Amino acid sequence: MSLPLDPARIRAEFPSFKQPDLKDFAFFENAGGSYTCSAVLNRMRAYYWNTKVQPYGAYPASRAAGDAMDEAHRRMAMALNVAADWIHFGPSTSSNTYSLAHAFESWLKPGDAVVVTNQDHEANTGAWRKLISRGVDIREWKIAKDTGHLDLAELDKLLDSKVRLLAMPHASNIVGEVNPVSEVVKRAKAFGAVTIVDGVSYAPHGFPDLLQLGCDIYLFSTYKTYGPHQGVMAVRPSLAAELPNQGHFFNETNPRKRLVPAGPDHAQIAASAGIVDYLEKVAEIAGIGIQGVGQFRIAHNAMRVQEQELIAPLLDYLRKKTGVRLIGPDDPAKKVPTISIVLDRPAAHVAGMISRHNIGVGGGHFYGYRVLEALGINPAHGVLRMSFVHYTTPEEIQRLIAALDAEL
């Protein structure tokens, strides 16, 4: 196995791997939240120690606090290849999505159509479906019942001049398939539709180039991208200006506060700049072996190559294992390392069995209730989900395979 990122150098950036309580623990539930890197923790500590005051005031500590928050907006924008005025921080992606849906209520008119999928986490489908009460036509882009795949030919049947908005996942937290966002955006734009992409299950595996994707809104969670518990909304500024203010009336002219009614967590916003520091470190560790335009594309590509190498033996094992239904593609190049399987026993029970091997996996529906129902799976039965990122080691993959072989 040839890995572009040295696991020892990568793991040295995460204090969790040095903790005695986590010694020999193999973490395979990263889709629920990743470990936090040192760069974020260092910025968090500096903020709490030196600038834990109301920001943007007249005195030095307050000015420094505001500067730290501004830096987070700038650096997050750099990593996503957009301008800083695209970036909005909120409490979580679920909260951000519901705030957006509320903003779009008055932007949309009765008879307008919104396309959603049944592959999404509930946050990026349920929020939009509620608009049916406002007379909006909700059209569902349905997954294939056997694979969970979203077929572009099926999307084409739903698109017409009445479609004002399309919401979709970059990758599903159950199916794991990487969806062709750029192609979907192109088709939706042909009818003038706004495109909203839930990147929560993709961004941990490399920040995308948003200008290349072309979508109008991209959402993800920083606690799944090695940072604090925040949600990021990258919103095209011209669109953000069209939407009604969701905050206090006196913040109408403040772009950062118009779409986020909850007060910002100053320290966590400031600390989020550490995620970008870490991505720069990943690019440095990758060295000259990975190609990309700029350090953030190098980091993205290195993470993707690393994970495809790591996932290959696990997919090969599951492909051959009897009594296991693998959800989504079995080609490493077509998915993120979020692997869901259906077993003859409730998934939560099997997750408990795997934990006896000092390995953490998940069992349940993971807010993908609709996708499980569409696949013919009882959400109460659930799927066993094994999810990892670039800091996982080949040895941990082999330990997981051995545990699965012992318990299934």
Tokens of 25: 């623990």
pLDDT at position 45: 97
Query: Which residues fall within 8 angstroms of residue 62, CB to CB, at 6 or more apart?
Result: 51, 53, 54, 55, 56
Under DSSP, the state recorded for 31 is G
> Strand ranges (DSSP E) for 58-98?
87-90
Is residue 48 helix, strand or coil?
helix
How far is 100 from 52, CA to CA, in rounded Å? Answer: 29
- Cβ atoms within 10 A of the Cβ of 208, count? 25
Encoded tokens for 58: 């007249």
pTM of the model as a whole: 0.97
**38-50 helix and 273-286 helix, angle to the nearest 10 degrees:** 150
Q: What is the pLDDT of residue 263?
A: 75
Instruction: Say what the pLDDT of residue 144 is.
Output: 97
CA distances from 95 to 191, 232, 262 (A): 28, 10, 9
Sort 8 into a burial class: Cβ within 10 Å, 0-12 / 13-18 / 19+.
Answer: exposed
Taking the C-alpha atoms of residue 49 and residue 52, their distance in angstroms, rounded to an integer, is 7
- The answer to whether the CB of 196 falls within 8 A of the CB of 226 is no
The per-residue pLDDT for 128 is 96
Candidates 346, 354, 344; CA nearest to 386 is 354
Contact 29, 402 (CB under 8 A): no
DSSP state of 92: -
Task: Count Cβ atoms within 10 A of the Cβ of residue 290 and give its class: 0-12 exposed, 13-18 middle, 19 or more buried.
Answer: buried
Give SS3 for 332: helix
> What CA–CA distances, in Å, run from 197 to 194, 234, 375?
10, 10, 22
Domains and CATH numbers, the chain: 7-36+301-407 (3.90.1150.10), 43-276 (3.40.640.10)
pLDDT at residue number 262: 80
Comparing C-alpha atoms, which of 17, 76, 65, 16 is closest to residue 43?
65
Q: What integer pLDDT is reported at residue 296 of this predicted model?
A: 98
CA nearest neighbour of 31 among 339, 280, 289, 273:
339
Please give the pLDDT value at position 159: 98
The candidate with the shortest Cα–Cα distance to 339, out of 354, 300, 301, 116, is 354
Tens of each residue's pLDDT in the chain, 408 residues = 789 999 999 999 999 999 999 989 999 999 999 999 999 999 999 999 999 899 999 999 999 999 999 999 999 999 999 999 999 999 999 999 999 999 999 999 999 999 999 999 998 899 999 999 999 999 999 999 999 999 999 999 999 999 999 999 999 999 999 999 999 999 999 999 999 999 999 999 999 999 999 999 999 999 999 999 999 999 999 999 999 999 899 888 888 999 998 877 999 999 999 999 999 999 999 988 899 999 999 999 999 999 999 999 999 999 999 999 999 999 999 999 999 999 999 999 999 999 999 999 999 999 999 999 999 999 999 999 999 999 999 999 999 999 999 999
Beta strands per DSSP E along 118-213: 137-141, 163-169, 194-198
